[in-house]
């Protein structure tokens, strides 16, 4: 089983093109939507309930952006057959995002933008109109929701011991540039791969994402659905 965790401001549908490719290969996956409210602690609790009946020995956890933080935390707490991180960071790397939630500054990031800047830069220009239609960001209170999460982001990295990890990055990611991904991979002693695309490469280039993910998954000892 592959568990796919999204970040904000998008939802679980960001994984739909990738899930189609995985299903065509007979690989089971699940891409739940984050709860509509809450902070990091409540999302950890929610995720614990999601995986309660899943065997860690056959679970690959994939996390993108904020979902990467949750995925790494889950793998550290419960274990996993493998962990894939894309367009994300861990530990102190989240400090600048926490600063965006400070009083005064937050009006710019969670009032004016409310995720639109991240969304619009996340895919190549020819796909931008379709991406905006898919993710209109019209959820009431989205800015407040994002700020609540930003204020509670942990700045201590989870202890990933013995969990095989892949950092899988869009080559032109502007949200978390390639150099940040390479640094994360080095810190975690993780494998490093890139695919064409920007921050949301799993949506814009799902074939490349699927090839990289499946190829790495098949290299894991005792890999199974």
The token pair at 212 is 């990289």
Specify whether the CB–CB gap between 130 and 157 falls below 8 A: no
pLDDT tier, 4 (very low <50, low <70, confident <90, very high otherwise): very high
pLDDT digits (tens, 9 = 90+) for 62-78: 999 999 999 999 999 99
Alpha carbon distances (Å) from 34 to 9, 44, 53, 161, 178: 11, 10, 19, 26, 26
pLDDT tens digits, one per residue of 171-194: 999 999 999 999 999 999 999 999
**Mean pLDDT on 51-69:** 96
CB 135, CB 204: distance < 8 Å: no
Q: What is the mean pLDDT of residues 19-23?
A: 98
Q: Are 83 and 217 in contact (CB under 8 A)?
A: no
Residue 80 has pLDDT above 90, yes or no: yes
Q: Name the pLDDT band for 10 (thresholds 50, 70, 90).
A: very high
Q: Quote the pLDDT of residue 26.
A: 97
Domains with residue ranges and CATH for the chain: 2-94+156-218 (3.40.50.1820)
Q: Looking at residue 161, what is its pLDDT?
A: 87
Supply the pLDDT for residue 223. Answer: 66
* Average pLDDT over every residue of 203-224: 92
pLDDT at 25 over 70: yes
Look up the pTM and report it: 0.96
29-30/60-64 β-pairing:
unpaired
pLDDT in tens, 118-169: 899 999 999 999 999 999 999 889 999 999 999 999 999 999 989 999 999 9
Interatomic CA distance for residues 94 and 89, integer angstroms: 7
Is the per-residue pLDDT at 86 higher than 90? yes
What per-residue confidence (pLDDT) applies to 225? 52
């Amino acid at each position: 089983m592959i568990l796919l965790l999204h970040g904000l401001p998008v939802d679980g549908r960001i994984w739909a093109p990738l899930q189609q490719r995985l299903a065509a290969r007979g690989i089971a996956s699940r891409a739940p939507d984050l709860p509509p409210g809450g902070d990091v602690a409540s999302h950890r609790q929610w995720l614990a309930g999601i995986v309660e009946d899943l065997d860690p020995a056959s679970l690959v956890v994939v996390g993108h952006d904020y979902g990467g933080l949750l995925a790494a935390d889950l793998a550290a707490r419960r274990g996993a057959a493998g962990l894939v991180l894309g367009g994300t960071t861990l530990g102190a790397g989240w400090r600048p995002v926490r600063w965006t939630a400070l009083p005064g500054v937050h009006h710019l990031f969670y009032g004016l933008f409310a995720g639109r800047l991240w969304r619009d830069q996340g895919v190549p220009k020819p796909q931008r109109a379709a991406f905006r239609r898919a993710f209109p960001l019209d959820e009431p209170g989205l800015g407040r929701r994002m700020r609540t999460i930003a204020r509670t982001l942990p700045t201590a990295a989870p202890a990933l011991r013995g969990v095989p990890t892949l950092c899988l990055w869009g080559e032109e990611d502007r949200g978390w540039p390639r150099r940040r991904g390479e640094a994360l991979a080095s810190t975690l002693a993780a494998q490093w791969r890139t695919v064409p695309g920007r921050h949301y490469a799993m949506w814009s280039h799902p074939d490349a994402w699927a090839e990289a993910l499946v190829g790495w998954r098949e290299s894991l000892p005792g890999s199974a659905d």
